[in-house]
Amino acid sequence: MSDSSWLREVLDIVEQSLAEPELVPAELAARAYLSRYHFDRLVRAALGEPPGAFRRRLLLERAADQLVRTDEQVIDIARTAGYSSPDAFGRAFAAGYGCAPSTYRRSGARRHDLPCPNGIHFHPLGGLRLPAEQRSSTMDVLTRMYDHHVWLTGQIVDRLGRLDDDVLDRPIELSVEGIDDAPTLRGEAERLVRQLEMWVTAVDGGTTISSGPSDPGALRERLDAAAPRFAETVVEPVRDGRADDTFVDATCNPPQTFSLGGVLAHVLTFSAVRRTLAIGALETAGIADLGAGDPMTHVGAAGEDAGHIKRNFE
């Protein structure tokens, strides 16, 4: 068994054990078919913290999440975190978070990560949020998007030979699964905003997505609120080399696992379609000052809108 597969097995064991806070460390080792001594030694070497401390930290992070996300009594949260008394729980919680559980509940915090050497943290619904096995850069994400672009373009070109000229030259009407049916200018603008709201909710561990008003003023307020949070939860970690960090999206039914880089690639790709539709609708309505919405100058290039310039072809 490889080191990575062994570690994944250990993480699965620990993840499943969160539902059994009374479990003793020896039982964790037994589930890995190892002695307590060897299990502790291997886990400490792989994670930088002993298995008992690792599990207690995850249970405390889960308790912090429950304090903010639920109305459960502190005594019940303490019990599910493995503490026999509220006083013991309060001392452990204050040591980790610097305040009493009741104070933390009022804080409304969205992330509950305690300092650790391995970057593995509790994620709502009982899962674990895992760091990438190796660091990656923003350019890695862009490169992968380009690779996907070339692959998908090839797949499209490969299918052209199945169609006759009448079909190939017919004006296109929007009919793409996963994009928007019967698009309107308001609807496309709202979806551009909602997409950011949706992914922020998912990365933060939410389970349901709320929808807001769609009049122009309200959409601007929603965008101003969602954009900085998306930058904080997705863009900045990707910029810091954590594009392959994963999380469980509990808004999906059933929950799905995604990476932060995948989220950014998804948003950029689908929003490009929606932006193009919205800009076209604006131009039809007589508002044409956005040009083609080309990102070329936004990322540092000089020159005209590359979507509108004329080129010389032989």
Question: pLDDT at position 10, please?
Answer: 84
Beta pairing, strands 256-259 & 121-123: unpaired
Superfamily for domain range 138-299? dinb family like domain (1.20.120.450)
Provide CB contacts within 8 A for 44, sequence distance 6+. 50, 51
pLDDT digits 0-9 by tens, 176-204: 555 666 677 788 888 888 888 999 999 98
Question: Does residue 174 register a pLDDT over 70?
Answer: no
Spatial CA neighbour of 54 closest among 118, 127, 9? 118
Q: State the pLDDT confidence band at 279, using cuts at 50, 70 and 90.
A: confident
Domain with CATH 1.10.10.60 in the chain: 3-117
User: What is the chain's mean pLDDT, rounded?
Assistant: 82
For the domain spanning 3-117, the CATH number is 1.10.10.60
Exposure string for 158-180, b = 16+ CB within 10 A, e = fewer: eeeeeeeeeeeeeeeeeeeeeee
Give the residue with greater pLDDT, 266 vs 140. Answer: 266
Q: What is the mean pLDDT of residues 63-76?
A: 92
Token readout for 46 is 């792989």
Report for 155-159, 220-224, 299-303: range of highest mean pLDDT:
220-224
Lowest model confidence (mean pLDDT) among 88-102, 130-144, 216-230: 130-144
Question: pLDDT at position 152, please?
Answer: 64
**Are 92 and 63 a contacting pair, CB within 8 Å?**
no
Q: How many CB atoms lie within 10 A of CB 84?
A: 10
Token readout for 98 is 């610097």
CA dist 49 and 35 (Å) reads: 17
Could you tell me the pTM of the whole model?
A: 0.63
Reduce the DSSP state of residue 153 to 3 states and report it. helix
Question: Does residue 135 register a pLDDT over 90?
Answer: no
Question: pLDDT at position 150, please?
Answer: 66
CA dist 74 and 235 (Å) reads: 35
Question: Does residue 253 register a pLDDT over 80?
Answer: yes
Give the residue with greater pLDDT, 311 vs 18. Answer: 18
Quickly list DSSP for 55-83.
Answer: HHHHHHHHHHHHHHH----HHHHHHHTT-
Domain with CATH 1.20.120.450 in the chain: 138-299
Q: What is the mean pLDDT of residues 161-171?
A: 74
Q: State the pLDDT confidence band at 144, using cuts at 50, 70 and 90.
A: low
Question: Does residue 155 register a pLDDT over 80?
Answer: no
Q: What is the mean pLDDT of residues 138-151?
A: 64
- Cα–Cα–Cα angle for 118, 122, 124, nearest 5°? 155
What proportion of the chain, given as a percentage, has pLDDT over 70?
A: 80
Token readout for 300 is 């540092």
Question: pLDDT at position 1, please?
Answer: 41
Pinpoint the alpha helices (H) of the chain.
3-17, 25-31, 36-47, 51-69, 74-80, 86-97, 101-107, 138-160, 165-168, 185-203, 216-230, 236-239, 260-284
> What separation in angstroms does the CA of 63 have from each of 43, 57, 309?
23, 10, 57
Question: pLDDT at position 136, please?
Answer: 54
Q: What is the mean pLDDT of residues 74-94?
A: 93
Question: pLDDT at position 149, please?
Answer: 63
Question: pLDDT at position 64, please?
Answer: 94
Classify the C-alpha dihedral 147-148-152-158 as positive or negative. positive
